[in-house]
Amino acid sequence: MAWTSASEPITTALSADEFKRRLRAMERYYHLHHPFQQMMARGELNREQLQGWVINRFYYQASIPRKDAALLANCPDPAVRREWVQRIIDHDGRGDDPGGIEAWLRLGEAVGVSRERLLSLDEVLPGVRFAVDGYINFARQRPWEEAVCSSLTELFAPEAHRSRLSTWPQHYPWVDNEGLAYFRNRLGQARRDVEHGLSLTLAHFRSAEAQQRALETLGFKLDVLWSMLDAMYLAFIVEMPPYQAVEDQ
């Protein structure tokens, strides 16, 4: 895998600063750099392609609280749970706050996809489903500290949200600006999440072996995000959705 061969194995325990630097260096493989997102930022997606991204990414959004609930179920530390539970509330909402999943449904409406169509999950590509389910299952099966570490791609997410906020109004003026609230809301939430996730990762991955495992865990998560976009690229850009060859016969 690209991110493993590009990264020297850790053989002696790194200082916190050096370990953080190594985690941040994984940004090079973040999905922001995937050709699909590059096309999105350059305004090269047509309406159906942008809609396809919103429809498929909805499966990720809808699955994040289930992933976080799996982490909580594995975590015996009430202090960690007390903070981590906020992530579920951010997505599901509470009281007057409708939450991130609702914000994504509004993003769907802003790009011309009804909430019924998003909620049905009927158009989620199998590759996207497998990648996202892989993330949920990882949180179910692995120690909670690794699930914490796997969320650290959020270190890099604010740049992705900022890019969409600055490029969409210019390139996709037909998208209602109100619909971009999801990206605006995540800027603050991701910063807070990352501080918590990073401090837990620094505290729990101290030996060389553990730090190496942390890099590999972050690499696994990069794979999840990249694979989702590979599936979308094949279906919407190459125009080779699953089973098309069979159906064309």
**Residues contributing to the site for ligand PQQ (CB under 6 A):** 64, 151, 153-154, 157, 160, 186, 225
Residue nearest to ligand PQQ (CB): 153
Closest distance to ligand PQQ from the beta carbon of 186 (Å): 5
Of 119 and 240, which has the nearer Cβ to ligand PQQ?
119
Nearer to ligand PQQ, 178 or 209 (CB): 178
User: Based on CB atoms, which residue is closest to ligand PQQ, 151 or 212?
Assistant: 151
Residue 19 or 84: which CB sits closer to ligand PQQ? 84
CB of residue 135 vs ligand PQQ: minimum separation in angstroms?
Answer: 7
- Compute the least distance from the CB of residue 133 to ligand PQQ, in Å: 14
Among residues 172, 198, 199, the alpha carbon closest in space to that of 183 is found at 172
- Which CB, 56 or 153, lies closer to ligand PQQ? 153
Kindly state the smallest distance separating residue 208's Cβ from ligand PQQ, in Å: 25
Q: Which is nearer to ligand PQQ, 21 or 184 (CB)?
A: 184
Query: Minimum distance between the CB of residue 15 and ligand PQQ, rounded to whole angstroms?
Result: 25
Q: At closest approach, how far in Å is the CB of 151 from ligand PQQ?
A: 4
Three-class secondary structure assignment of the chain:
CHHHHCCCCCCCCCCHHHHHHHHHHHHHHCHHHCHHHHHHHCCCCCHHHHHHHHHHHHHHHHHHHHHHHHHHHHCCCHHHHHHHHHHHHHHHCECCECHHHHHHHHHHHHCCCCHHHHHHCCCCCHHHHHHHHHHHHHHHHCCHHHHHHHHHHHHCHHHHHHHHHHHHHHHCCCCCHHHHHHHHHHHHHHHHHHHHHHHHHHHHCCCHHHHHHHHHHHHHHHHHHHHHHHHHHHHHHCCCCCCHHHHHC
